[in-house]
Amino acid sequence: MALGAHEAARATGTLLRHGWANDYDQNTVSTYIANISGATTDSVICQDVRSLDFESLPHIDGFAFGFPCNDYSLVGENRGLKGEFGPLFAYGVKVLEHHQPEWFVAENVSGLRSSNGGRDFKRILDAMRGAGRGYKLTPHLYRFEDYGVPQRRHRIIVVGVREDVPVTFRVPAPTHPDRDQWKTASEALSDIPPGAPNHRIIRHPESVVRRLELIDPGENAFNAKRMTDEYRLNVKGATLSQIYKRLHPDRPSYTITGSGGGGTHGYHWAEPRALTNRERARIQTFPDDFEFMGEPGSVRRQVGMAVPPLGAFHIFRALFLSFKGTAYSSIPQNLNQDGSAVGRPQLIDA
- Which residues are the active-site residues? 69
Helix (H) or strand (E) holding 155: strand 154-162
| Sequential DSSP letters for 74-140 | TTTT--GGGSSSGGGHHHHHHHHHHH--SEEEEEEEGGGGGGGGGHHHHHHHHHHHTSTT-EEEEEE
**Pick from 330, 10, 344: nearest CA to 138:** 330
DSSP state of 276: P
Contact 252, 183 (CB under 8 A): yes
Contact 3, 311 (CB under 8 A): no
Contact 221, 227 (CB under 8 A): yes
Return d(Cα 7, Cα 218) in angstroms, integer.
Answer: 33
* SS3 state at 222: coil
Residue 155 CB-density burial (10 A; 0-12 exposed, 13-18 middle, 19+ buried) = buried
Residue 343 CA: distances (Å) to CA of 189, 333, 340? 35, 9, 10
User: What angle (nearest 5°) sits at the alpha carbon of residue 19, between those of residues 196 and 57?
Assistant: 130
Helix (H) or strand (E) holding 143: strand 135-143
**Pick from 102, 95, 96: nearest CA to 62:** 102
Residue 46 CA to its chain's centroid (Å):
21
DSSP state of 36: S
